[in-house]
Chain A
Amino acid sequence: MFFRSACRCHALSAMIIAVAALAGCHQDMYDQPRYEPLEPSDFFGDGRSARPLVPGTVIYGAEMADDVLHTGRSDGELATELPLELDAALLRRGQERFNIYCSNCHGRSGDGNGMIVQRGYRQPPTYHSDRLRGAPIGHFFEVMTNGFGVMPAYSIQVNAGDRWAIAAYIRALQLSQFATLDDVAASERAKLEQAAATPPEDANP
């Protein structure tokens, strides 16, 4: 008699402990009642906790001037000069950004034969045509900002300063394709001449 009731008592207390232990296992701290960035929401009708921007929103503290830096145009004409100071750092920045965002289609040297083009995107014109070599630098900025033909706008990924850096780097690419040995610093010239003398190891052009 006592044996059975003791047994039941033990079973009951074991269950209580188990339930208490399980109840302690909930994940409230892991998933707190606040939104992580981009977390879905059942509060808003469109299911987004990240609210879309109201039309006309400007970035706090950003200059939204109609100056050449942001439009690529001054007095309605495409800018012919870089509105930023040109130095090695700007060109390096431009090279980095170009290789991230542009080279996929335009190719690393700007000949318009990047990987995405090889996979079927319409081929962009080479930068090294007379037309684009003669185009004002503001043209490249404007194309990046607004898109051109099938090329989409890149202002959602690349800010205005970086777009000018890329434009400067495009100019450098254009120069590079028409450079002569005289443009090479004397210290580097020997290296090039040596490379020209020895045939490349693999025949990959």
Chain B
Amino acid sequence: MPQIFHPSMNAIARASIFGAVFIVAGIGWLLFEFYRSSYQTQVGVVRPQPVEFSHEHHVGGLGIDCRYCHTAVENSPLAGMPPTQICMQCHSQIWADSPKLEPVRASFRTGESIAWTRVHDLPDFVYFDHSIHVQKGVGCVSCHGQVDQMPLMWRTETLHMKWCLDCHRNPQPHLRPRELVFSMAPLPQTQATHAEAAEAAQEEPQAQPRAAHAAAASLASADLMKLHQIASPTSCSICHR
């Protein structure tokens, strides 16, 4: 019987005994990195849309409330994509001749839907309900990021199960008073801003600066756990129902 392996194989065999650990770990690491990469999670990736709709302009520039267009967000699982009719409430007069808005006008004329690309698309085996999160004081910003600074829409969060659970296990830092749920200001981090802003918020309840909004929100978040009766369940069947 002839020799199967060349003597040089010995060196390779020895190396691979030690190397196997690193190779397996390396493959694992690569898979993990791929799973977390923006290629996989779509974080920061702008997806093409039929109309270049800018939240930065409409929310940040004009100050239109989320609920003006996403009308169902307070009482339905789905936030609601605005019907073309809502776009045309303003754009029948403003930018009424803009070629960029032609798909909107065409949709209004023909009654055909505008085929938007869903940016925040959860797997079909996950149940998510906007209304309960809004009612319990989770701000839009917590999941969607500061859309008032997004010229086009992208994800700021992975939407991974770990990300959901991180908040469900410790919701307190993400809570706001109900009236600030739709505020675009992020929750502040430092104690100093808390105190300052809480003061400002008391003095000027109607026209609070944005930082004050957020700080007041964060300050009270311990009490909000009780006030909003936060249970934030973590059992499997809450989302996988």
Contacts and interface: CB of A to CB of B under 8 A. Distances in A.
Interface of A: 1-3, 6, 29-32, 34, 36-38, 40, 46-48, 96, 99-101, 104, 115-116, 119-122, 150, 152, 156-157
A37 B88 contact: no
Contacts of A96: 179
A10 B64 CA distance: 63
Contact of B113 (A37, A48, A122, A152): A48
Given A116-B62, A156-B85, A30 B125 contact: yes
Contacts of B83: 156
A35 B179 CA distance: 33
A30 B124 contact: yes
A110 to B, nearest CB: 14
A-side interface mostly: loop
A150 B94 CA distance: 12
B78 to A, nearest CB: 5
A91 B95 CA distance: 34
B21 interface: no
Interface in B1-28: 1-2, 4
B86 A104 contact: no
A29 B85 contact: no
A2 B125 contact: no
B4 A2 contact: yes
A156 B86 contact: yes
B236 interface: no
B-side interface mostly: loop
Contacts of A115: 62-64
A96 B206 CA distance: 11
B89 interface: yes
A34 to B, nearest CB: 7
Nearest to A157: B71
Given A29-B125, A31-B124, A156-B85, A100 B67 contact: yes
In the complex, the 7 A-B pairs of residues with the closest C-beta atoms, listed nearest first: A32-B124, A100-B65, A30-B123, A152-B89, A37-B78, A115-B62, A157-B71
Given A104-B64, A115-B63, A121-B94, 11 more contacts: A30-B125, A34-B124, A36-B124, A46-B112, A47-B115, A48-B113, A104-B62, A104-B68, A116-B62, A119-B62, A156-B83
